[in-house]
Amino acid sequence: MSLSRYEIKINGLVQGIGFRPFIYQLAHKLNINGWINNSSEGVTIQIECSPETLNLFIAKIKQEKPQQSYIENLVISSLNFVGYKSFIIRDSQKENKPISASILPDLSTCNDCIKELFDCQNRRYRYPFINCTNCGCRYSIIKKIPYDRIFTTMSKFEMCEECEKEYKNPLDRRFHAQPNACEKCGPHLELWNQKGEILAKFDQALQTTCELIKQGKILAIKGLGGFHLVIDSRNKLAVNKLRQLKNRPDKPFALMYPNLDKITQDCYVSSLEKKILLSSASPIVLLRRKKENSLSLICSEIAPNNPYLGIMLPYTPLHHLLLAELNFPIVATSGNRHSEPICIDETEALVKLNSITDYFLVHNRPIFSPIDDSIVRVIDNQVIILRCARGYAPLSITLKNQNIARDKNILALGGHLKSAIALKIDNKVFLSQYLGNLDNLENEELLDNTTKKLNNIYQIKPDLITCDLHPDYYSTKYAETIIDKFHKEGKLSKNEDRKNSISLVKVQHHIAHIYSVIAEHNLNLPLLAIAWDGTGYGLDKTIWGGEFFLITEEKIQRIATFSPFPLLGGERAIIEPKRITLALLSQTFKAENNLDTIINKLKINQYFCSQELAVLKKMLAKQINSPLTSSVGRLFDGISCLLKPKEIITFEGQAAMALEYLTNDIITTETYPFSWQYNADKCNYIYWESIVRNIVKEYLENQSINDISVKFHQTLVKVISTVAEKVRLKNIVLAGGCFQNKYLLENTIHSLRKNNFQVYYSKKVPTNDGGLALGQILFSLSPNSIKF
């Protein structure tokens, strides 16, 4: 049988996951000679065999590939026969071409490593940094591609003889496992006090940590992508102390449970939620709490007034050892000061967390990229990523439109809240991990550092930079700074030919939200898109957030929006939603001139001092510091505060979440009246005043606030259905932070599907501002002729 030489190029998630050892073993089973190596795009394989064996080889690659791997493209070409004598794994070769290989996210500890971890006969027994090609740190330690040990933070640890033997053995599970180590040669633990003095090392440090947690102490524990602040979740005093020290009075704490059985004592867990909890991503999953649970394993202060708990399982060997010893759930919240990035360095943590924590459990494996825990929620029986971080980031999205400018490298800088950046190389977009809100210097520096790190990893210079339209966002100013820097350093001339220059494209906030969904699902136009959120700078320089767009290949038309209402005091109204309630009531009842009577009946006046109320009424009358908004997110805030008045909110989305939780999964077909007339040539207002009027009426009649909340949600569903029925485009996109609301999203989907619409919404990419960068990239690639 004649042999031929073939080259096979594979890209996707094929580096750092045991793909080369898998190919090596498969080639030996099939008696194939040749080689494999990591490339800038994924892996390259050359083999010599018959056409029949080639077909069998390809079939087995697709059927038996490593569980965590993902093949996006597999291209075969024929070459001249050279006569290979064996099959080997070659070292990675430097290539003069763009790097587009996907970086593997950090992976939770696999079952094989867990067995070894607790096997007293194994040489890695109770070693808190055990890993193999199927699990462990990846993105958090990678400095550049290809994924080889010398390009990771593990390069400082020289492998002992036994580890190196495993690393070089193609039949071993740790063959080319870049973080491979053991207690002899790898990272180790230390327990520090607040002065940085070493109290214990190695396993004794872990044992002492467990005792301190049981005593109610607050521990800062260095993990995979940064520090956690850890306490006993049963200890009310410890929980309240952590809330006070971290300036976090209401926001729920994330929990880590020892095992699935203990989770089911506190929460309902569906088969899909179980699958997510046990997945290699091991994110925080929002789970419904069991009501009136006297057997609860946690104190009520963990998530006050919240029917959900954010829960994860142990995902590193250190966590497995810790939770096996404690055997009760712990609070594991991000190790940072209020609103700042997560700490990744023990020296940094000693300074920044000293006023919060009692002790520090640290290790000496450097973290290159900080990465928080991901957050996931099941909606419409789909996995919805709310925070894209550990286990998912950097997220690779392929733009499959054939018209995409593959040679154009693009940097997208996202928005202001829940920041994330993205890089486009070839036809792939790499979305970074969650970076937090850009409202302090530390988070701004994190954006800057992450941008530089991703550019260095992929070794590119962007041809285009894209950002939000808002002139005051740090990300916008940062984009402008980069452009200016290129000009000042003479890297390009302002008069330079356009094809060789770097350009800036600013994308309207809600258009970016919509194009993020279009990119994720590779949708074709035309379509109807609904973008609802809290805040977005509009083309008319007002604050948008309740938008309907008709999008075709030629134009983007804003066909409907909610009638604007004032934000009393601007951003202060977001923190004090009672101001929004007052503005909604004023606009609703201005014809009757009986605002005072209404607010007295609703008893809202008791949440304002008399002088404050007088000032706010003047601001309304004279339109002073009261920017207009069409935001559905702010509408949620105002209705929420009407039904459940609150002086201030202490975390983003708190008021809207409270309104969602009032629905309590109640189903109704009742809605409130609203008015809207469709004129195809203009933007048409949806008037909400009759909604507020009827809510006030029912509230004063002592109707259940749960029923009122349900009717409000169903009214919003009807608003969407009404517009969809009038426009009659089959494909509908739902985008923006409001669609993190499970009740709203599920009922909207069901209503639209019932009327034969095809509904698309974010799943892999956050629907909140964490997904903006992806949308900015796709829009910036749109034809220049597209018009608003």
CB distance 80 to 374 below 8 Å: no
The one catalytic residue in 20, 124, 138, 387 is: 20
Let me know if 20 is a catalytic residue.
Answer: yes
Beta-strand (E) ranges in 306-460? 308-312, 330-334, 359-363, 375-379, 382-387, 395-398, 410-412, 422-425, 428-431
Task: Give the HSE-up count for residue 196: Cα atoms under 13 Å, Cβ half-sphere.
Answer: 9
Instruction: Measure the CA–CA gap between 353 and 335, rounded to whole angstroms.
Output: 8
Q: Which of 682, 680, 681, 700 is nearest to 692 (CA)?
A: 700
Count of helix runs (H) and strand runs (E) in the chain:
23, 30
Other residues' Cβ atoms within 10 Å of the Cβ of residue 185:
15
CB distance 409 to 460 below 8 Å: yes
**Residue 728's Cα: distance from chain center in Å?**
33
Instruction: Measure the CA–CA gap between 438 and 419, rounded to whole angstroms.
Output: 7
CB distance 769 to 422 below 8 Å: no
Question: How is residue 296 written in tokens?
Answer: 């609860």
Other residues' Cβ atoms within 10 Å of the Cβ of residue 734:
25
Distance, first Cα to last Cα, the chain: 64
Give the C-alpha distances (Å, rounded to integers) separating 490 from 408, 487, 495, 504: 21, 5, 12, 17
Instruction: Pinpoint the alpha helices (H) of 645-762.
Output: 654-662, 689-700, 705-727, 742-754
The one catalytic residue in 5, 11, 33, 38 is: 38
Give the C-alpha distances (Å, rounded to integers) separating 349 from 172, 309, 317, 580, 602: 37, 27, 21, 39, 48
Instruction: Measure the CA–CA gap between 297 and 261, rounded to whole angstroms.
Output: 12
Instruction: Measure the CA–CA gap between 476 and 701, rounded to whole angstroms.
Output: 48
Instruction: Measure the CA–CA gap between 516 and 512, rounded to whole angstroms.
Output: 6
Looking at residue 92, the DSSP 8-state letter turns out to be P
CB distance 730 to 524 below 8 Å: no
Looking at residue 552, the DSSP 8-state letter turns out to be -
Would the CA dihedral through 558, 561, 564, 568 be positive or negative?
Answer: negative
Q: Which of 432, 383, 391 is nearest to 769 (CA)?
A: 432
φ/ψ of 95, rounded to 5, equals: -125, 145
Instruction: Measure the CA–CA gap between 274 and 263, rounded to whole angstroms.
Output: 10
Let me know if 38 is a catalytic residue.
Answer: yes
Write out the catalytic residue numbers: 20, 38
